[in-house]
Amino acid sequence: MQATLPLTKDESCHFAADEVFFSTTDARGVITSGNEVFVRISGYRPEELIGRAHNVVRHPDMPRSAFRLVWGFLKAGQPVAALVKNRAKDGRYYWVVALIAPTADGGYLSVRFKPTGRLFAAVQGLYAEMLAEERRVRGEGGDETAAMDAGAAVLTNYLRGSGQADYGTFMQELLCGELKARDETLRRENRRIVRTIAPGSGRQGALAHLVSLYGDGCRAYEHLNLLYRRLDDFVAVHAALENKSSFVNNLTRELRLASMNVALASSRLGSGGVGLGVISHFMGASSLEVASAVRILSDGIHTVSQRLRAVIFNLAAARLQIEMVLGFIHELVTAPPSVELRQQRHALVHTLHGAFAAALGRASEALHELEERAVGLNATSTDLGRHMLGLEVAQLGGVIESTRLVEQEKFGAVFADIRGQIERTHRELAGLGDALEKLVALADETPFIAREIETAAGKMEEDLAQLATA
């Protein structure tokens, strides 16, 4: 459907922090549905939205490279979170935190809420830089791909400068941080996302099933919040593991360099450095054993870190998705749709619940794997500690041997550096052990809560089945 896009006004659309809204599209990005809040904020009538490409609400201030990134995740079958600036029908703008996920029918679901977190201002400036770079390339005759590549390079530099490994890490911090900031805003303004629905004596048929579904959804939400409140603990463990990973990855290089320095120095001494040469050879062999253990440990930390990231992101996503389920059911109960629209609106409840169940499933799978991986990682860390004992023996022998040499001070300094590396390694491994103990404790606490959530979600499935036949 062709239509003239609105002029842009430098004026924002107001909506509250407790308003969560959604839209669905087909595989091409054409809008297939949305809730009342989306219709109101966008300023379009439902019939003006359905059947149009979702870019009808795209604001010209948004860099195209940002949307290319989003589509990259979606085409890979992965959910993605991003800050997005949209444009209403009257030309005003509104910013949202958007969580977009593939749906079972091959389309996409976008759940959105108002941003209030600390990354909001930074991302506004980042998008302005990305957009300026895209326009510069186009102005110099570059094609659209080159322009988006230039915008993406700005994003990559921003992520590196802020210490983010990739956009996946950034969007985890974004979604969790924005939900936390929103929760604080809701407490301050005395607002609630989940509203009560009075049982009501006159409700029958589909309406009664919706009320039952709402009650089971609230129970799932309560249990999920118990797990969600541990997110800060998961985030802290994730940060600790990332820190240890950086040290572990540098350890092999430092120890090999130390061994080479000793070998070179001993070779210059000729026959006088025979004893030191033996120690150097032993150090080299021990360093190879340490390197092997480091590779295994590094791979293990990377895997656990990825699983932790999946837990953190999908717990936050599941919480937002169940909020959207409850918010939409509340809308259907308090303002029932017409008979013509009832079946379609009820089908949307299935779509929203499916997105919640998928996020919950990903979080549960990652949680189960975490427990096994954490135990194995602890054993690998212990193995590395044992291999470091060989280096300690070599270092002590080196100190003793160097006392017999003319260049005692020079060699003493070399072995003192090696001693420092060994001691630091033991401290870092102790810190890693503490982080892994916390992780195992978290993993031990979560199965019961996870089962309660899954039970409540299963009951919601039964309610949905009854709703479909009502």
Given a cut of 60, whether residue 328 has pLDDT beyond it is: yes
The residue range of the domain holding 263 is: 223-469
Shortest CA distance to 42 belongs to which of 111, 94, 114? Answer: 94
pLDDT band of 235, cuts 50, 70, 90: confident
Sheet holding 80-87, edge to edge: 31-34, 21-25, 108-113, 93-102, 80-87
Give pLDDT, residue 354. 94
For 196-219, the pLDDT digits (tens) are: 887 654 467 788 889 989 999 999
Give pLDDT, residue 1. 43
Q: How far apart are CA 302 and CA 317, in angstroms?
A: 22
Dihedral sign from CA coordinates of 252, 258, 262, 268: positive
Q: How far apart are CA 25 and CA 289, in angstroms?
A: 54
Residue 6 shares a structural domain with residue 154: yes
| Per-residue three-class SS string for the chain | CCCCCCCCCCCECCCCCCCCEEEEECCCCEEEEECHHHHHHHCCCHHHHCCCEHHHHECCCCCHHHHHHHHHHHHCCCCEEEEEEEECCCCCEEEEEEEEEECCCCCEEEEEECCCCCHHHHHHHHHHHHHHHHHHHHHCCCCHHHHHHHHHHHHHHHHHHCCCCCHHHHHHHHHHHHHHHHHHHHHHHCCCCCCCCCCCCCCCHHHHHHHHHHHHHHHHHHHHHHHHCCHHHHHHHHHHHHHHHHHHHHHHHHHHHHHHHHHHHHHHCHHHHHHHHHHHHHHHHHHHHHHHHHHHHHHHHHHHHHHHHHHHHHHHHHHHHHHHHHHHHHHHHHCCCCHHHHHHHHHHHHHHHHHHHHHHHHHHHHHHHHHHHHHHHHHHHHHHHHHHHHHHHHHHHHHHHHCCCCCHHHHHHHHHHHHHHHHHHHHHHHHHHHHHHHHHHHHHHHHHHHHHHHHHHHHHHHHHHHHHHC
Given a cut of 70, whether residue 189 has pLDDT beyond it is: yes
Say which amino acid occupies 431: G
Task: Tell me, yes or no, whether 306 lies in a domain.
Answer: yes
Task: Tell me, yes or no, whether 391 lies in a domain.
Answer: yes
| CATH code assigned at 131 | 3.30.450.20
Task: Tell me, yes or no, whether 217 lies in a domain.
Answer: no
Domain count, the chain: 2
Give pLDDT, residue 205. 79
- Tokens coding 250: 């540098």
Residue 51 shares a structural domain with residue 13: yes
Which of 36-50, 184-198, 204-218, 264-278 is most confident?
36-50
Domain boundary among 177, 193, 209: 193
Residue 177 shares a structural domain with residue 293: no
For 367-407, the pLDDT digits (tens) are: 888 877 877 877 887 887 787 777 777 778 777 777 766 55
Residue 393 shares a structural domain with residue 298: yes
Task: Tell me, yes or no, whether 206 lies in a domain.
Answer: no
According to DSSP, the residues that pair with 64 across neighbouring strands are: none
More confident residue, 83 or 431: 83
* Rg of the chain (C-alpha set): 29
Residue 230 shares a structural domain with residue 186: no
According to DSSP, the residues that pair with 23 across neighbouring strands are: 34, 110
Task: Tell me, yes or no, whether 202 lies in a domain.
Answer: no
- φ and ψ of 26, to 5 deg: -85, -175
Domain boundary among 173, 193, 213: 193
Task: Tell me, yes or no, whether 121 lies in a domain.
Answer: yes
Given a cut of 50, whether residue 133 has pLDDT beyond it is: yes
Residue 390 shares a structural domain with residue 295: yes
Residue 128 shares a structural domain with residue 45: yes
| CATH code assigned at 360 | 1.20.1270
Q: How far apart are CA 164 and CA 447, in angstroms?
A: 30
86, 57 Cβ separation under 8 angstroms: yes
Residue 241 shares a structural domain with residue 167: no
Task: Tell me, yes or no, whether 208 lies in a domain.
Answer: no
Residue 188 shares a structural domain with residue 250: no
- ∠ CA 56-4-123 to the nearest 5 degrees? 40
Tell me the average pLDDT across 19-48: 96
Domain boundary among 193, 215, 231: 193
pTM: 0.85
Residue 309 shares a structural domain with residue 182: no
Residue 239 shares a structural domain with residue 164: no
Residue 185 shares a structural domain with residue 278: no
Tell me how far the alpha carbon of residue 341 is from its chain's centroid: 36
Percentage of the chain beyond pLDDT 70 is: 90
Given a cut of 70, whether residue 270 has pLDDT beyond it is: no
Q: How far apart are CA 11 and CA 1, in angstroms?
A: 27
Cβ neighbour number for residue 355 with a 10 Å cutoff:
29
Task: Tell me, yes or no, whether 119 lies in a domain.
Answer: yes
pLDDT mean across residues, the chain: 86
Given a cut of 80, whether residue 454 has pLDDT beyond it is: yes
